[in-house]
Chains A and B, each alone.
Chain A
Amino acid sequence: MEKLTVKAFGIIAEKLPEQEFYFPQQQDTEELLNSLYDEYPDLRNMDFSLAVNQQLIQQNTRLRGNEEIALLPPFSGG
């Protein structure tokens, strides 16, 4: 069974049960985001960028199976 690995960074990890977890396979990143928003409504108000297999994406991206997804918020501290 194909599944996604979701890795959360920074403040995003605080909105999710685990810093890293499996999530059911989705068709594309838009579907994934909507499913994540449904499951974890706190994410809706957060700004973050998305990487698929360690590659930052800028638009809806097709997922073929077993991708690693990273939710990457900006950090501001110094």
Chain B
Amino acid sequence: MNRFSRQTILPGFGIEGQQKLSDARVLVVGAGGLGCPALLHLAAAGVGTIGIVDGDTISESNLNRQTLFGHQHTGKPKSSTAAEILKEKYPDLSFEVFSDYLNTNNALEVISLFDVVVDGTDNFGTRYLINDACVLLKKPLVMGAIYQYEGQVMAFNFGQIALNYRDIYPNPPRRDQIPNCAETGVLGVLPGIIGTLQAAEVIKILSGVGKVLAEKILFFNLKNSSFYEVAIQANPSGRNNLPDSEEDFRSRDYNINCGLAESINWEKAMDWTLNMNDSLLVDIRETGEKPLLEKEFLTRIPMKKIKENAAALSAYENILLVCASGQRSRQLAHELKQQFPEKKIFSVEGGILHPSSPLNLNKNDT
């Protein structure tokens, strides 16, 4: 009996399947909510070499879903920390750490080192970047993505038709309708399920067991415990949008930010508010929230009432929203942008509590 005996005795998997995993090189992009469970299962299954790409560090609010990490890891880099944790569990496996985000300069070089790619990123820009790079390099790509209580899983560049993300969604969404990823709620178990499904597809691709999710997109709804499959096929107009060469790929801009509405820093926000009469700074905190701020340049409209107070905004071109920390203002900016697509809606970064906020009473006291 060895570590893999329970899978090598499986009909159809066997010693051969295990050997294929052991010989394989898998790249996991994003060691976050999807990447952590995917990494854990790929390593436990015995994938010989695992690359981990992530430029981010671990924060406390990651821990509900980024299950490789614990409290003691906060502040540390995700990619190298994930590799250390897994190496300690499975010393015979190799881990390759890429501590930068993927971009048009490094993506082809990094991806070309691996056999299969797992996309566990959290934004459309990187998803299109990885998709296009994997199409160019003909690398199988297992993409997973989530939205609130739902997830989707797809396996690309695999099988007879070799489909890709642009066959389903030919272009990235328009900027003004991308929900803010960083602040969208997520129940940690959802990416746990989707990331684990991604690992399962990778293991099937490598070992040859089962039927890979290659011509279908699989949706999962956690609230209903339901799956929904949709068959996909090649989309010529989507394929027209693919880069036709590595040079073309390198020259493209995949920097599609998660920002529906835009954010603005305090310095600029105050400059506009005080010097431009088409800009309105709005305190959207609920009535009764402290500290109560009475400033000439600040208009108070609680967020619940702002949509019915459209008249108060009508005279202004730029609406700058402020809350305590910048979270609610980002959410509301997104909603208001849909109501007023012609206006520029900004969320003031960091809100009232930001160190450079002129409304931060704590700071002014000291």
Determine if A45 and B177 form an interchain contact, defined as CB atoms under 8 angstroms apart: yes
Interface code A57-78, partner B: CB below 8 Å = 1, 0 otherwise?
0100000000000101111111
Question: Which chain A residue has the least Cβ–Cβ distance from B32?
Answer: A78
Assuming A76-B258, A78-B34, is B230 touching A54 (CB within 8 A)? Answer: yes
- Flag whether A27 is at the interface (Cβ < 8 A): no
Closest 9 CB pairs of A and B: A78-B122, A75-B145, A75-B147, A77-B146, A47-B173, A10-B147, A51-B230, A78-B34, A74-B169
**How many angstroms from the CA of A72 to the CA of B124 in the assembled complex?**
15
> Which of B84-92, B231-239, B300-308, B343-351 forms part of the interface with chain A?
B231-239
Say yes or no for A9: interface residue by CB 8 A criterion: yes
What would 16 more interface pairs be, CB under 8 Å, given A9-B221, A45-B174, A78-B30?
A: A9-B228, A47-B174, A54-B230, A56-B168, A72-B168, A73-B173, A74-B145, A75-B151, A76-B145, A76-B147, A77-B145, A77-B186, A77-B191, A78-B32, A78-B122, A78-B146
Q: Is the CB of B33 within 8 A of A78?
A: yes
Q: A45 contacts which chain B residues (CB < 8 A)?
A: 174, 176-177, 338, 341
Question: What interface size band does chain B fall in?
Answer: 35 or more
Chain A proximity of B187: nearest CB distance (Å):
12
Interface residues in chain A, defined as those with a beta carbon under 8 Å from any beta carbon in chain B = 7, 9-11, 42, 45-47, 49, 51, 54-56, 58, 70, 72-78
B120 CB-CB contact with A under 8 Å: yes
Q: Which residues of A contact B144 (CB under 8 A)?
A: 78
Contact B177 A47 (CB under 8 A): yes
With A45-B338, A74-B169 as contacts: A11 and B232 at CB distance below 8 Å? no
The docked-state distance in angstroms from the alpha carbon of A74 to that of B169 is 7
- CB pair B150–A75 under 8 Å, yes or no, is yes
User: Cα distance A25–B122 when bound, in Å?
Assistant: 37
Chain B residue contacts of A55, Cβ below 8 A: 230-231
Residues of B within 8 A of A (CB): 30, 32-35, 119-124, 127, 144-148, 150-152, 168-169, 173-174, 176-179, 181, 184, 186, 191, 217, 219, 221, 228-233, 235, 237, 258, 338, 341
Give every chain B residue within 8 A of A72 (Cβ-Cβ): 168, 217, 219, 230
Residues of A close to B34: CB separation below 8 A:
78
A42 nearest CB neighbor, chain B only: B338
Contacts of A10 in B (CB 8 A): 147-148, 150
A5 to B127, CA, bound (A): 31
A37 to chain B, nearest CB (A): 15
Chain A residue nearest in CB terms to B341: A45
Structural contact, B124 and A76, CB atoms closer than 8 A: yes
B232 with A56: CB separation less than 8 A: yes
With both beta carbons as reference points, the residue of chain A lying nearest to B165 in the complex is identified as A74
9 A-B pairs within 8 Å (CB atoms) are namely A45-B176, A47-B174, A49-B169, A58-B237, A74-B168, A75-B152, A76-B178, A77-B147, A78-B181
Is the beta-carbon distance between A70 and B230 smaller than 8 angstroms? Answer: yes
Within the assembled complex, what's the spacing in Å between the Cα atoms of A7 and B176? 24
Q: Which residue of B lies closest to A58 (CB)?
A: B235
* Measured CA separation A46–B150 after assembly (Å): 17
